[in-house]
Chains A and B, each alone.
Chain A
Amino acid sequence: MRVVIAEDAALLREGLTRLLEDRGHSVCAAVTDGDALLTAVAEHRPDVAVVDIRMPPTHTDEGLRAALALRKEFPGTSVLVFSQYIETSYTAQLLEGGAAGVGYLLKDRVANVAEFTAALERVASGGTALDPEVVSQLFRASRQRGGLTTLTPRERQVLALMAEGRSNAGIAAELVVSGGAVEKHVASIFSKLDLPPDESDNRRVLAVLQYLGG
């Protein structure tokens, strides 16, 4: 996996680089602001970019804006946004153009190296990785809304894990249930959310997006 990192704190930038290189990935560039990120991606065309949201010069959301620009200009590069905070509006903007090749994780997640790299790999190969915090925020935001309130607690749990980008097998392992049981829950979620089967099989993503779109 070829990675570009944009992170202004030297400690984390170097830590991430080392962590990824340890696991056999190649870090093409590690930069400190949004403009440098776009330049580096244009030059190296990596599989995935890991982007901090708050970077110089304004330390507000330049990372997010750079990530959105990346999504538009370099569809071949996936983006994992990596931050101390989860903002629901950021999630909505990130997922606006579809959930393929997008991730949004709290920096805390790096503590579990295996899970973090698995999430990064998933994003790099066109999947989705949303932080459990993102998902629970979405749940909270959508509690007032129709469809989702009809879900059982177990279905909610399954949907949360789907939103994190897990496969059915991954969900089964996490919840310690059989694959068949997970499939049943998923089908029930789709029908409760009124998502008919289609050929592109994007229902998983659509289910997650329902929290956002309202």
Chain B
Amino acid sequence: MGEDIRRVTGTILRAPLTRRTVRELLYCVLGGLAGMAGFWITLVLLGAGLLVSASVLGTVVGLLLLTVALRVSRRLGALHRRLASWLLGYQVQAPQKFQPGAGILGRLDRRLRDRVAWRAISYSLVKLPVAAVQLYAVAGVVIGLIDMTYPVVWVLFRHHSGGTLHPMVALIPFPVGGHLKISTWPGTFLVAVVGAVGVIAATWLARGINAGDRRLARALLGPSRVSELERTRTLAVEDAAAELRRVERDLHDGAQMRLSALAMNLGMAREKLGDDDEHADNATVRELIDAAQRNAVDALADLRDLARGIHPPALEVGLASALATLAASSAIPATLTADIQTRPAAAIETIAYFSAAELIANATKHSYTNEIKINIHTERSGVLRLEVTDDGIGGADAARGSGLAGLAQRVSTVDGRLDVSSPPGGPTTVTVELPPKA
């Protein structure tokens, strides 16, 4: 307990000295100033636009002003996203680009209905109080730092002999009754302590308000829910098309090819049999029929694999038993622990199954592991959680491996998520979280 308190206190006290604080404060300055400027620019353009368009004569000018406001707000949104990414390392995905319509009226219409721009405008307006707090936090840090210099300033500039000394007035970043006047050197240390407390408090204020700003930016400057759905729907459609292409390709190169070869073998065997019993070339016929049989068996195996690739029959029984089959057929020993409370939707089961299959294949191919652990369970929230762990070499990266990236895409089509933890040297754990319903 005491240990914890000491740790937390340490974190709180050390915060101003970290690099992150410098970045957060810089974000407060730049983001705050940009936010202030953005608010007034937006307000003036928007207000003028609305007022002028309300008057009959000024409609054209007013609409022009409105479109300027909308365009500017998009730019401002991009600026804020860039600041957040550069200083806070916080990525807000860019919303979809503006799609200009045809003709002047078409363009105007699209501009005025540009949801992204209207959301950016709402960000610019909401940003005012946020920016005020951000700038206030910066001011707090600056004032605190100045207070901390008092003992030194006293020594350097006040320690003259003779003459009356004006007391030093401590700067306090919020209105309290009266001024704190200091007339003695030891008193300046009190001011310095107050300043230090102020720096720490302002630092945490900056972090807090920035966290809020991040949320705002994500909600208002990122892609909207609708466009996110459009994006994942496109992914789903592409995924399905790619899947069909793969099936066709497998059929063409597998079963169809083997059956062609089978037909050829049988045709040649028939030729060798001739039309009367005496001239049959039995040895060759036997060999050809053997080959035909092999091709038939291989074609069956190909078709079975293909059918399983389309929809594993064991999934009919349930995800756990399908995964057990999968684990049993893994080239590297794989153990499965499963605790699935309520049966998820069929689409979710299928995605979970193919995720597991892909992850096992990845581990087998790339990790040089000796053991794979598969865990699947339902969380209290109903989320289905699949973890595939190996103790191999690590270094897996969803951004680089196309397999993992493809999987992440597939998972995102049902609002699921995929996380990769794979430090160099291992172990690698890939977690897939899926909602109970697609």
Contact = CB atoms under 8 A, between A and B. Distances in A.
Given A84-B252, A114-B271, A11 B258 contact: yes
Nearest to B266: A111
Interface string B355-388: 0000000000000000000000000000000000
Given A113-B268, A113-B270, A9 B253 contact: yes
Nearest to A84: B256
Tell me what chain A mostly uses at the interface: helix, strand, loop, or mixed: helix
Contact of B257 (A11, A16, A111, A114): A11
Interface string B240-255: 0000000001001100
A15 B270 contact: no
B405 interface: no
A110 interface: yes
A58 B40 CA distance: 57
Interface in A70-127: 84, 107-108, 110-114, 116
A27 to B, nearest CB: 15
A12 B264 contact: yes
Interface string A56-70: 000100000000000
Tell me what chain B mostly uses at the interface: helix, strand, loop, or mixed: helix
B341 interface: no
A110 B269 CA distance: 12
Contacts of B261: 9, 11-12, 15
A92 to B, nearest CB: 22
Contacts of B42: none
Between A18, A112, A113, the greatest number of chain B beta carbons within 10 A of the residue's beta carbon is seen for A113
A110 B249 contact: no
A73 B196 CA distance: 87
B60 interface: no
Interface size grouping (class) on chain A: 10 to 19
Contacts of A166: none
Contacts of A107: 256, 260
A213 B270 CA distance: 40
Between A16, A108, A111, the greatest number of chain B beta carbons within 10 A of the residue's beta carbon is seen for A111
Contacts of A112: 267
B260 A12 contact: yes
B265 interface: yes
B134 interface: no
A19 interface: yes
Contacts of B412: none
A111 B269 CA distance: 10
B263 interface: yes
Interface residues of B, number: 17
A59 B264 contact: no
A16 B256 CA distance: 16
Nearest to A108: B263
B252 A110 contact: no
B8 to A, nearest CB: 61
Between A15, A54, A112, the greatest number of chain B beta carbons within 10 A of the residue's beta carbon is seen for A15
A10 B22 CA distance: 65
Between B253, B266, B267, B295, the greatest number of chain A beta carbons within 10 A of the residue's beta carbon is seen for B267
A151 B194 CA distance: 106
Contact of A110 (B256, B267, B295): B267
Contact of B265 (A9, A15, A22, A114): A15
A114 to B, nearest CB: 7
Interface string B324-357: 0000000000000000000000000000000000
B295 A11 contact: yes
Interchain residue pairs A-B with the least CB separation, the first 5? A111-B263, A113-B267, A107-B260, A11-B261, A111-B267
Interface of A: 9, 11-12, 15-16, 18-19, 22, 54, 59, 84, 107-108, 110-114, 116
27 contacts: A9-B253, A9-B257, A9-B261, A11-B261, A12-B257, A15-B261, A15-B265, A16-B264, A19-B264, A19-B267, A22-B268, A54-B252, A84-B256, A108-B260, A108-B263, A110-B260, A110-B263, A110-B264, A110-B267, A111-B263, A111-B266, A111-B267, A112-B267, A113-B264, A113-B268, A113-B270, A114-B271
Interface of B: 249, 252-253, 256-258, 260-261, 263-268, 270-271, 295
Given A59-B249, A107-B260, A116-B267, 12 more contacts: A11-B258, A11-B261, A15-B261, A15-B268, A54-B252, A84-B257, A84-B260, A111-B266, A113-B264, A113-B267, A113-B268, A114-B271
